[in-house]
Amino acid sequence: MEAVISKLSLFSLLVIVAASIDDEFMYNGFRESDLHLDGISDISPDGLLRMTNTTKNQQGHAFHKMPLLFKNRDGNPNSFSTTFVFAIHSEREDVSGQGLALVLSPTRGLPGAPPIQYLGLFNPGNNGNSSNHVIAVEFDTIFNIEFGDIDNNHVGIDVNGLRSIAAAPASYYAGEAAGYKNFSLFRGETIQVWVEYDSLDMKFNVTISPITTVTKPSFPLLSSTINLSSVIYDTMYVGFSSSSGSVITSHYVLGWSFKMSGQAPALNLSALPSLPPRNQMKNSTTRTTSLILELSFAVVLFVLVMLISIGFLVKRKMRFKEVLEDWEIEYRPHRFSYKDLYKATKGFRNEEVLGVGGFGRVYRGKLPTSKVDVAVKRVITHDSKHATREFIAEIVSVGRLCHRNLVQLLGYCRRNGELLLVYEFMSNGSLDKFLFTDTWPTKVNWRQRFQIIRGVASGLFYLHEEWEQVVLHRDIKAGNVLLDGEMNGKLGDFGLSRLYDHGSDPRTTHVVGTMGYIAPELTRTGRTTPSTDVFAFGVFMLEMACGRRPIEQQASPESLNLVDWVRRCWRRGCITDSRDPKLGDDFKMQELELVLKLGLICSHPLPAVRPSMRQVLCFLDGDLPVPELSMDFLDEKASSLDIPSISSSFASSAVFKEQSSGREPLLQEENQSYYVQ
Ligand SMILES: *[C@@H]1O[C@H](CO)[C@@H](O)[C@H](O)[C@H]1NC(C)=O
Ligand SMILES: *[C@@H]1O[C@H](CO)[C@@H](O)[C@H](O)[C@H]1NC(C)=O
Ligand SMILES: *[C@@H]1O[C@H](CO)[C@@H](O)[C@H](O)[C@H]1NC(C)=O
Ligand SMILES: *[C@@H]1O[C@H](CO)[C@@H](O)[C@H](O)[C@H]1NC(C)=O
Ligand SMILES: *[C@@H]1O[C@H](CO)[C@@H](O)[C@H](O)[C@H]1NC(C)=O
Ligand SMILES: *[C@@H]1O[C@H](CO)[C@@H](O)[C@H](O)[C@H]1NC(C)=O
């Protein structure tokens, strides 16, 4: 009886002692908890227990600070019950870092336990050694063959070592029909765990379920019979252990309750701290990778954009590339930028081509800033630099020429092998279009023709005599006479032929000019003089009067050559018969005769016989009577007959006045002056 009492009193004493040792607790979040943390574990300000942060290969422990009395006075293990909520966030969908374990341990920490696959529980030296006195429930997310793991997503009961005495894939009993349902421990699911031990039947039950199922599944996932008496000490610490591995993973515990010898109080699930959003966690873990990805993408994009724009700029630069050399600086005011000309001609479109001449294409254009209409002649040059340089010096001088019967050269631009000359725009184009088309009546009537002849003569006179230097045109023909809106004729293209003259020996090579307009002495000497220009002008006058080209291949042999044909008509005494039939009756006989006769005189084979342009103007204006041509006029031997009488008046004195003024012919290579015959 006494023994019974003492037993009872001892029992009650033990109960009191046991009660004094904490045997029940509940944490709905760990804000006000009294946990012992080590390793990389921490508690966030809102009470979330984070067992591992994103630092790799580390471990973390969190233990209830006070030891618990796990054995009764008989030395037999107590029943106990505990429940907790956890979540594992892995940076990757398919794999996780190490798992998490609930631990009963004789000490508050687990010193010497390496991280990684040992879950922060054991080390290679003590793993499986019964002297450990550790019991754990592992939530293992790594498939370790060395520990006999079943897969990478299982729950196991470990006694003194990581080789589980019982294990099962993470799943929960979802009712009779559904059976056990698998789910992932590490895909961010918030999971509730119940661990219960019944000391009577020594059943160690582990039940898990996603928190979303709300109620505890009616059957445990693991139920093992374990005689804990030799495993556990009287007092044990209870807590969590976790370790991070090479895959960045965070292990969270949200709430936890425990009760010795009874049912652990249910957690208030709505009071648990909230987890960081998984995508944010994912962000934080994959931030670097995604950042690197984004950055490299941005860099690649940037480099691409740079390359494309550089390519574009280079292309653009190449497109608008022009040649500007030092010596050209002084001509700068006369230079156009290629870009402007490119824009003006809409990129030298074929639609803008006004005509194709011997030197290249002529494009119509509108200057981008001034909106002035221009004609851009694109001359392909194959010349040496020296020749181009001389030519530019000349054209710039030519650009200073200003006469209402000369097409104004506005400037130039130079590129590799290409020269662009910018002229005023002549809206009616070249005269030959009007002159040689078979429209009836003619598109240019006699009055207009005479006016054009007069204008061209005046322009040529300006070139030869009125300007500060003698300029030779070298290619006078209907095709080089351009018409403005009022059908005023203007001479264009002067001096261009010179460009093609360069580098060639004048004695041996081709003669510049156009067939039918070339004075006979030019083919012999290769020397252009004002007189050769006058010859061509004479032919031009005949063209205007007769409305046909100087050499008409389709014509009968006797009228093949225009000059010969007009001569023949003149010899027959009917020079006006050679007139352009398209003129009809609308002409002045006197003017027509004058033009035809003057044309013959100017195109005389002997240069000495040809008048100067000054004289030509006088004849055209009626200031001098046209000399009567004798029958042997065209006889070269007797050709000096009438002409000296012309030049003996004021004309020859004019010639010698020029000579004394020391003017040098500009567009002439020879040092020898033209007027020294
Ligand atoms: C993880 O926790 C440890 C210990 O508190 C700390 O030194 C480390 O900087 C933390 N790492 C990160 C990524 O927060
Ligand atoms: C278990 O650990 C104890 C103490 O650390 C040691 O003496 C014993 O040799 C170990 N047993 C085995 C099998 O490793
Ligand atoms: C659950 O997972 C285990 C192991 O991965 C597998 O053997 C079992 O068939 C799965 N059960 C269901 C219902 O998918
Ligand atoms: C453990 O699980 C078994 C099987 O479901 C059950 O019979 C037993 O009552 C459970 N024990 C505890 C303490 O929950
Ligand atoms: C449990 O183990 C202890 C010591 O190993 C032993 O004394 C006890 O009888 C065992 N209990 C049962 C129910 O087998
Ligand atoms: C559970 O927590 C919520 C929020 O903190 C609180 O409003 C509620 O009263 C709690 N329920 C119980 C049963 O304590």
Question: What separation in Å is there between the alpha carbon of 274 and the centre of ligand 6?
Answer: 15
Ligand 6 binding residues, C-beta < 6 A: 268, 270-271
Question: What separation in Å is there between the alpha carbon of 242 and the centre of ligand 3?
Answer: 25
Averaged pLDDT, 271-295: 71
In angstroms, rounded to a whole number, what is the distance separating the alpha carbons of residues 530 and 536?
Answer: 10
Averaged pLDDT, 49-65: 84
Catalytic residue among 23, 158, 475, 533, which?
475
Catalytic site includes residue 475 = yes
Ligand 5 binding residues, C-beta < 6 A: 227, 229-230
In angstroms, rounded to a whole number, what is the distance separating the alpha carbons of residues 69 and 47?
Answer: 27
Say whether pTM exceeds 0.75.
no
Confidence of residue 384 (pLDDT cuts 50, 70, 90): low
pLDDT tens digit sequence for 438-474: 777 778 889 999 999 999 999 999 888 887 777 788 8
The angle at the Cα of 186, spanning 181 to 191, to the nearest 5 degrees, equals 60
- What CATH class does 432-605 carry? mainly alpha
In angstroms, rounded to a whole number, what is the distance separating the alpha carbons of residues 469 and 674?
Answer: 13
Nearest CA to ligand 3 atom 8: 182
Choosing from 32, 254, 268 the residue with most ligand 6 atoms within 8 A of its CB, the one to mutate for a pocket test is 268
In angstroms, rounded to a whole number, what is the distance separating the alpha carbons of residues 121 and 144?
Answer: 15
Choosing from 229, 230, 232, 234 the residue with most ligand 5 atoms within 8 A of its CB, the one to mutate for a pocket test is 229
> What residue spans define the domains of the chain?
19-276, 319-424, 432-605
pLDDT computed for residue 383 by the predictor: 59
Averaged pLDDT, 228-245: 89
Report whether the peptide linkage leading into residue 441 is cis, meaning its omega lies within 30 degrees of zero: yes
- Annotated binding-site residues read 377
DSSP 325: -
CATH number of 19-276: 2.60.120.200, 3.30.910.20, 2.40.100.10, 3.20.80.10? 2.60.120.200
With CA atoms as reference, report the closest residue to 502 among 412, 438, 419, 440.
Answer: 419
With CA atoms as reference, report the closest residue to 197 among 318, 344, 78, 32.
Answer: 78
pLDDT computed for residue 8 by the predictor: 43
Which residue is it, tokens 């009067």? 545
Q: Identify the residue with better confidence: 80 or 560.
A: 80
pLDDT computed for residue 435 by the predictor: 86
pLDDT computed for residue 592 by the predictor: 92
Which residue is it, tokens 């003569």? 457
- What CATH class does 319-424 carry? alpha beta
Mean pLDDT (the chain) is 80
Question: What separation in Å is there between the alpha carbon of 271 and the centre of ligand 6?
Answer: 6
Question: What separation in Å is there between the alpha carbon of 390 and the centre of ligand 3?
Answer: 94
pLDDT computed for residue 304 by the predictor: 92
Choosing from 55, 56, 59, 61 the residue with most ligand 1 atoms within 8 A of its CB, the one to mutate for a pocket test is 55
DSSP 47: S
